[in-house]
Structure 1
Amino acid sequence: MVCLLHITAVNAQSAWLGLKGGLSIPNLSGGGGNPLSSNYTSRLAANFGLLSEFTLTHRFSLQAELNYAGQGGKRDGLQPITNLPPEYQQFVPPGSYLYANFDNKAVLDYLELPVMAKLTWGTPFQFYVNAGPYLGYLLHAAEKTSGNSQIYADSHGQQALPVPAQSFDGNTDVTSSIKRWNVGVTGGLGLAKPLGLRNRLFFDARFEYGFINIQKYSSDGKNNTGNVLLSIGYAYLICKK
């Protein structure tokens, strides 16, 4: 990829550098039929980074970015319990789980490197579409839980255990149980407004999907990352042939 960017820079008609930031709306898809990794919905996270764009023609360019991307999802309500205290093991049905009603956020922090082809048209506003692969590296993963609940022996919340309600407030580091690397595809569309000859503002809407199941251990289920990215940014023309 370094060689590709070097060759592109040498042959580029112009080169831009920029900053971008905005909102990530991630979710965890799949589940692998395992209650531990099923029924996630979207949460909100941050997304920001740096970009470089090499324009090859008046319409076609290559763009590379280095971004922080919040991934993960949330699951609220009745769900299986992990990390049970030893005194509760006697209540676990064979091949099943105990359940409780609480809020659970899977917070995954990634450093991502997308490389995209970009097609631009229009004036004075410039419309564009972009698409390409990305490489992701996991910085940190946490399971953030909150709430108080009775504990149940079934997934419908009808068989309460003869124990007091428990607090599920916690912040558990689960980085060691998530694969460090991810590979996926990203793409979307946007709108840019030139400000003179060397400055440009833009709005970008994009979708990402990771191809790799993120769990290291099959007992934890199977999930793929994915998110919608909404960003605003600024780019500056650093050179032009």
Structure 2
Amino acid sequence: MKGNILITVLLSTVIGVGSSFSQTAPEIGFKAGLSIPNLTSGSSDNPISNGYSSRLDVDAAVHIEFHINGWFSIQPQFEYSSQGGKKDGTQAFTVPVEMMPLFPPGQAPPYLYATYKSEARMNYLLLPILAKFHPLLDKKWGAYVAIGPFVSYLLSAKNITKGSSMVYLDKEETQALVSSPQSFNSKDNIRNDLHHFNAGISGHLGVDCRIGNGKVFFEAGGNYGLIDIQKTEVNGKNKTGAAAINVGYQFQF
């Protein structure tokens, strides 16, 4: 709740400033499409951080565009952005509490290994403030590029695992810890393990076509978070990022 209030206050401030400089009535736009997120590990040597591939989910936003002049505008927006990544194969995990008795006190390894599927699903509310440039001006068709910083608030986060596997002490799966496969079917809420706020860079390229008093637009771009999402490196060390493809409609009000 505090995060939503902070972002709302910031957006209201930007709208007030944008309105004072805008030469024409602002335009409001709605868009929806596809988010293609992944989790990057950078230089982290934590095995939990590695091995993610992209997943598919939803991206949607509402924005207000303030035209400063014929070729430049400022566009703040509220954006629902799905983030995360998935793994399928051998992966590391911290020793579960129920397996601690299998080791002498204080001698449990930092990680165990097994082969199963996992998917990290994180949903954020993003507030990008974009500088938007319109290099091509035409009565019907237009093109633009937009880039700027964003702040974000974590709405939800789950880690979903599926499958069954033997549990091993090593990545090569040569040293079995137990004598029978273990179930990895689970759906865990991991929001409290992650930072609730992030910040980064967002941008996109787009084309639009004027229809009546509004215009239809198509754009492709993405966002990248600059802050490691985990509170502690025991759970990995990753940054968010996603490509996004959207279709929308914008009109003057």
TM-score bracket for this pair, using the shorter chain length:
over 0.9
How many angstroms apart in 1 are the aligned matches of 2:236 and 2:101?
A: 21
Where 2:48 maps in the other structure, the secondary structure is helix
Q: Please point out which of 221, 224, 231 is paired with 1:209.
A: 224
How far 1:134 moved relative to its partner?
0.6
How many angstroms apart in 2 are the aligned matches of 1:89 and 1:186?
A: 47
Alignment of 1:44-83 (within 5 A): 44-82=56-94
Deviation string for 1:199-227 (max 9, x for gaps)?
11101111211111111112222111111
How far 1:5 moved relative to its partner?
2.3
TM-score, reference length from structure 1? 0.92
Greater share of residues in strand: 1
The one-letter amino acid paired with 1:29 is T
Larger CA deviation: 79-88 vs 132-141: 79-88
Q: Please point out which of 210, 221, 233 is paired with 1:218.
A: 233
Where 1:10 maps in the other structure, the secondary structure is helix
Q: Which residue of 1 aligns with 2:244?
A: 229
Q: Which residue of 2 aligns with 1:43?
A: 55
- CA RMSD of the aligned region, Å? 1.8
Q: Which residue of 1 aligns with 2:5?
A: none
Q: Which residue of 2 aligns with 1:171?
A: 187
- Residue 195 of structure 1 pairs with residue 207 of structure 2: no
How many angstroms apart in 1 are the aligned matches of 2:190 and 2:13?
A: 35
Q: Which residue of 1 aligns with 2:131?
A: 117
How far 1:74 moved relative to its partner?
0.8
TM-score, reference length from structure 2? 0.88
Q: Which residue of 1 aligns with 2:161?
A: 145
The one-letter amino acid paired with 2:231 is K
Measured at CA, do residues 149 and 112 of structure 1 come closer, stay the same or move farther in structure 2, by a change above 3 Å? same
Where 1:35 maps in the other structure, the secondary structure is coil
CA contact (8 A) 1:14 1:56 kept: no
Larger CA deviation: 87-96 vs 203-212: 87-96
The one-letter amino acid paired with 1:9 is S
Where 1:36 maps in the other structure, the secondary structure is coil
How many angstroms apart in 1 are the aligned matches of 2:117 and 2:126?
A: 28
How many angstroms apart in 2 are the aligned matches of 1:58 and 1:207?
A: 25
How far 1:140 moved relative to its partner?
0.9
Q: Which residue of 2 aligns with 1:19?
A: 30
Q: Which residue of 2 aligns with 1:5?
A: 15
How many angstroms apart in 2 are the aligned matches of 1:87 and 1:182?
A: 34
How far 1:95 moved relative to its partner?
4.0
Runs (5+) with no aligned partner, structure 1: none
Q: Which residue of 2 aligns with 1:29?
A: 40
Count residues with an aligned counterpart.
237
The one-letter amino acid paired with 1:218 is E
CA contact (8 A) 1:91 1:153 kept: no
Deviation string for 1:85-116 (max 9, x for gaps)?
42455259754421110011111110111110
How many angstroms apart in 1 are the aligned matches of 2:238 and 2:189?
A: 18
Deviation string for 1:144-181 (max 9, x for gaps)?
00011111121012223342111111100011000000
How many angstroms apart in 1 are the aligned matches of 2:99 and 2:130?
A: 53
Runs (5+) with no aligned partner, structure 2: 1-9
CA contact (8 A) 2:14 2:76 kept: no
Measured at CA, do residues 194 and 83 of structure 1 come closer, stay the same or move farther in structure 2, by a change above 3 Å? farther
Q: Which residue of 1 aligns with 2:121?
A: 107
